[in-house]
């Protein structure tokens, strides 16, 4: 049985002060929830504040991006060891906003995934098609390419090293999520690929979360499908009580 994971991606929101306020409000709301993994991905500048506040709780911490090198003359970048040292156990890699706005390609995603794993971080690897690709019947091709390229050269993996996130680009921030059927269909296919790449047992153990316009209203139907193992939540996680409601729905 895969444990559900709810990941709150703050994107470029909240100062360190605001992050502190969020956590102090959020913690009491979810303190009795033990059956799902809750992971927060604040901006780099708030990692320390959040890490200190969640230290004795079960809440996990994730970076929103990472560079593959350990150090170097790479202005603006953050290494896997820096994330680990800041209290992160995982990192989001290949989010479509990075792919589209910052020209991150499959090869960069692959290098980041490998570097994260090498530094004991769980790679939360995102894949997703555009509206146009879906309309042209290319969804399967695009996702297969992103998955295979992102995991190229990795011979063995386990569920502590990888979480897959299916995030259709047309669903992100649009208010139009994938239907549970659409999400489940894609997740089932991704899982099949994982089985071919690794083993059926590994494929069964790896969590595939869905992201794109998740709300308190739609989370339960998405999670009711067999292959959706959680959510990567953007806009709806920015308010602590709203995200706590989503987490509670996932726990029920
Ligand atoms: P959204 O974003 O929930 O605001 O659609 C999800 C994401 O991009 O991770």
Q: Where are the domains of the chain?
A: 4-251
pLDDT of amino acid 160: 97
Specify the residue with its C-alpha closest to ligand 1, atom 3: 234
Q: What is the value of pTM for the model shown?
A: 0.98
Q: Is 236 in the pocket of ligand 1 (CB under 6 A)?
A: yes
Active site residue 67: no
- pLDDT tens by residue, the chain, 252 residues: 899 999 999 999 999 999 999 999 999 999 999 999 999 999 999 999 999 999 999 999 999 999 999 999 999 999 999 999 999 999 999 999 999 999 999 999 999 999 999 999 999 999 999 999 999 999 999 999 999 999 999 999 999 999 999 999 999 999 999 999 999 999 999 999 999 999 999 999 999 999 999 999 999 999 999 999 999 999 999 999 999 999 999 998
The yes/no answer on whether domain 4-251 falls in CATH 3.20.20.70 is: yes
Mutate to test the pocket of ligand 1, among 10, 213, 234 (most ligand atoms within 8 A of CB): 234
pLDDT at 99: 97
What phi and psi, each to the nearest 5 degrees, are found at residue 62? Answer: -130, 145
pLDDT computed for residue 252 by the predictor: 82
Tell whether ligand 1 has an atom less than 6 A from the beta carbon of residue 167: yes
pLDDT of residue 71: 97
Question: Is 167 assigned a catalytic role?
Answer: yes
Identify whether the C-beta of residue 170 lies closer than 8 Å to the C-beta of residue 215: no
- Give the active site residue among 133, 167, 187, 227: 167
Ligand 1 proximity of 91 Cβ (cutoff 6 Å): no
- Helix pair angle (106-118, 139-150), 10° resolution: 40
What is d(CA 205, CA 151) in angstroms, rounded to the nearest whole number? 16
């Amino acid at each position: 049985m895969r444990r559900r994971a709810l990941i709150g991606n703050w994107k470029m929101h909240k100062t360190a002060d605001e992050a502190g306020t969020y956590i102090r409000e959020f913690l009491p709301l979810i303190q009795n929830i033990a059956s799902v993994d809750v992971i927060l991905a604040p901006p780099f500048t708030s990692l320390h504040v959040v890490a200190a506040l969640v230290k004795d709780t079960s809440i996990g911490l994730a970076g929103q991006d990472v560079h593959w090198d350990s150090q170097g003359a790479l202005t603006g970048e953050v290494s896997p060891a820096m994330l680990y040292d800041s209290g992160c156990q995982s990192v989001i890699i290949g989010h479509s906003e990075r792919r589209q706005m910052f020209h991150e390609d499959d090869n960069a995603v692959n290098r980041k995934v490998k570097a994260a794993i090498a530094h004991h971080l769980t790679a939360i690897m995102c894949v997703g098609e555009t509206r146009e690709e879906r309309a042209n019947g290319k969804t399967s091709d695009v996702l297969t390419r992103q998955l295979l390229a992102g995991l190229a050269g990795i011979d063995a993996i386990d569920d502590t090293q990888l979480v897959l996130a299916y995030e259709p680009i047309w669903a992100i921030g649009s208010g139009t999520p994938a239907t549970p059927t659409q999400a489940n269909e894609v997740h089932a296919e991704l899982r099949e690929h994982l089985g071919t790449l690794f083993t059926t047992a590994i494929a069964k153990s790896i969590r595939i979360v869905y992201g794109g316009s998740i709300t308190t209203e739609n989370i339960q139907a998405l999670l009711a499908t067999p292959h959706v193992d959680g959510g990567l939540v953007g806009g709806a996680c920015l308010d602590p009580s709203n995200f706590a409601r989503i987490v509670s729905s996932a726990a029920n």
